[in-house]
Structure 1
Amino acid sequence: MSSQVLRFEDWTAPVPAVEREVVEALPQSPQELPPVLFVPGIGHGAWAFAEHWLAHTASRGFAAYAVSHRAEGSLRAYVHDVVQVAASLPRQAVLVGHGAGALLVSHALTRYPARAAVLAAPVPPGWSALGAALRANPFGTLPALFGAAPRLSRRQLFGADLAEAEAYRGRLVRTPARIYRQVLFAKPAAAPVGAPPTLVVGSPDDRVVPRSALDRAAARYGGAPLLFPGMSHDLMLDTKWQEPIDAILDWLDKELATT
């Protein structure tokens, strides 16, 4: 039902075409492995994966890509871009979404038959995410209740030991408040096309996504979350960034071997 509505909207009110920023890292020796497409959360761009995860993924033999969000648009436009970039890749892709990017991936999966999917620190739609944000950063989150964009704090995104935290925070893109409202009131995605294997990863110490949200997200796909204690919300920029991406790629290797 949901995918049919989306297609009808795309036909009657097509998403405007834009030039998308896609960053890539390719393995030295091409292999018959699916490409991996990374989708950032709100305020982040492809650069967040280009710091560590893209090159590391390529070193494991996977062609790695990351897409940035268009400057103006909506969640529907963001999902459209994920589907279009994935469809342009040479093989059936693995989709990896972080934060609100995981919400985009869950909706993209209703339209794109991914080889597999990973939801990293997935921001849940609805009031549970807002409640967690209010507890961690009340003054930065309160504006969201009045139609403004929230202001995420350093401690919400990054670990205390991350020397580059301020530099990374300076690279965050200001996102229109309407995008945050759309995340807040987004409906859960319909069932994925083709039922791809889906992994949920996160940290029980995340100050953006509560542990209960990780459990619910994983249960929806028939599993339990893979947890990394002591890590921040931005797993891909954390000082221990290698642990989750290696775990993701190990899981993917096993899934590919079994199928």
Structure 2
Amino acid sequence: MTSVRIMRTRDWADPVPPARRELLTATPEIADEGKPPVLFVPGFGHGAWAYAEHWLEHAAARGFAAHAVSPRGHGASAPAPKATLRAYAHDVVQEAARLPRQAVLVGHGAGALVVAHALARYPAKAGVLAAPVFGGWGTLGLALRRNLFGTLPAAFGGRLRLGRRQLFGRELPDAQARGYAKRVGHASAKAQWELLRARPPEHPVGDPPVLVVGTPDDRVVPRTALDKVARRYGGAPLLFPGMGHDLMLDARWQEPIDAILDWLEKDGN
């Protein structure tokens, strides 16, 4: 792994405080040194558990050492009611740097924006942005139109509430969907506000390949947003019709993760 050291004045003058982080890991039975480790990053309110349901073990079964981190304030990581997007990105970079080889960073939802910021600080093997929420006031407008009563509290620093219709497709059984939805928490109020006025991420270090995946039926991320993010990284989104926003938990969860791993074996490795 090539060492790349990036020093920013703010990181030196105002360092992110340390925090205890949850990391879940699935190890392949037969290690394949030709396949890079994969670090999954959940979106706001989710934790590493969202990947432990299906994607972690599936990636390991295909020979990838798979890890999922819960940024501070998420999952079983330490509470962080005042965390910022910079702190979340810091957590991702710190866990990636602990891995023995260059990792692939995979972010979902607002976690894709966190990964995009991490890619500007960590020389990843590749990046994957799943159903990316890159923020902006247009994101708030869409959320208010589609989920008024769940979104309005977040506009005033409260909790963003996403239900079954926002997160999952019709094929996922209602009981399972409700169970997942109950596990979704929330990011810090500061991070939520930062998401609304999010600045574009810096260019990735080392120019790694970046794949954007999503669904045209996403009720959180419109198709135009998927296209915009994909164009930013020089490509087009890989789409999975009929699925909901939470690709890793929906009924057809295997389709996107297989496509991601196929891409890593072919183009991202």
- TM-score (structure 1 length as normaliser): 0.94
Q: Identify which range, 80-89 or 132-141, moves more after superposition.
A: 132-141
Distance 1:201 1:161, change over 3 A: same
1:133–1:256 Cα change, 3 Å: closer
SS in 1 for 2:8: helix
Q: Across the two proteins, how many residue pairs are aligned to each other?
A: 254
Supply the distance in 2 between the matched residues of 1:55 and 1:64 (Cα, whole angstroms).
Answer: 8
TM alignment of 1:95-134, pairs within 5 A: 95-134=105-144
- CA distance, structure 2, for counterparts of residue 108 and residue 225 of structure 1: 20
List aligned pairs for 1:148-167, cutoff 5 A. 148-163=158-173, 164-167=176-179
Structure 1 residue ranges, 4+ long, deviating more than 4 angstroms after superposition: none
The aligned counterpart of 1:137 is 147
Partner of 1:57: 59
CA distance in 1 between counterparts of 2:156 and 2:58 reads 41
Decide which of 40, 45, 52 is 2:42's aligned counterpart.
Answer: 40
Q: Residue 232 of structure 2 aligns with which residue?
A: 220
Q: For 2:190, which of 178, 181, 200 is the aligned residue?
A: 178
Structure 1 residue 234, shift from structure 2 partner: 0.1
C-alpha deviations, 1:166-191, integer Å up to 9, x for none?
A: 11111112333222111111101011
Aligned twin of 2:244: 232
For 1:232 and 1:207, locate their aligned partners in 2 and report how far apart those are by CA, in whole Å.
7
Q: Which has the higher helix share?
A: 1
Maintained 8 Å contact 1:149/1:180: no
Moved more, 139-148 or 42-51: 139-148
Gaps of 5+ in 1: none
In the other structure, the counterpart of 1:14 is 15
Q: Are residue 196 (structure 1) and residue 196 (structure 2) matched?
A: no
Question: Identity over the aligned pairs, expressed in percent?
Answer: 65
Residues 46 and 186 of structure 2 are in contact (CA less than 8 Å); yes or no, is this contact kept in structure 1?
no
Asked whether the 8 Å contact 1:125–1:188 carries over to 2, the reply is no
Q: What amino acid does structure 1 have at the position aligned with 2:22?
A: E
One-letter code aligned to 2:37:
P
Q: For the residues of structure 1 that align with 2:101 and 2:53, how far apart are their CA atoms?
A: 24
Shift of 1:141: 1.4
Structure 2, unaligned runs of 5 or more:
74-79
